[in-house]
Amino acid sequence: LQAEWAQLELEEGALARKLAADGAQERVKATEAAGQHAAWEQVFNVRIMLHKALSAANQMPDPALLPDFAAHGQRARSAVAECAQSALLLLGDMLALSGALGSSAEDGGRQAREGERLAREAG
């Protein structure tokens, strides 16, 4: 009976250690999941903010009409050039972000390189 009792105590101790280890692993997973959720929430908020900029960019004149629009004076040409520069930088940043968050390493790397190239061209 003593030997059986000692065996049960050993099994109970092993079970308690396993439960403690499992609890620690679950806390780590929960912390990682909370961090991932916060990151995706930030990306979503950035997407909402970018929507306004993209909507404004969609209201620009058709590229074929830009010379006519710019013919209205230096102020119009400067505005078009500044808007185009900002749009190009925004596109580069979006491609880099998309590459960083991309589903596959190959697509993500390609998009990140394209975003960097566009940012260099804009700068």
pLDDT digits over 70-102, tens only? 788 888 888 878 877 877 787 777 777 777 766
- Tell the residue number behind the tokens 């975003």, with chain if given: 115
pLDDT of 11 reads 92
pLDDT of 94 reads 76
Looking at this protein, which amino acid is placed at residue 69?
F
pLDDT of 107 reads 58
Residue 121 has pLDDT above 70, yes or no: no
Q: In angstroms, what CA-CA distances link 84 with 45, 55, 61, 65, 93?
A: 24, 14, 11, 14, 14
* Cα 96 from Cα 116, distance rounded (Å): 7
The residue among 109 and 3 whose pLDDT is bigger is 3
Q: How many other CB atoms are there within 10 angstroms of residue 116's CB atom?
A: 15
Residue 12 has pLDDT above 90, yes or no: yes
CB 118 within 8 A of CB 93: no
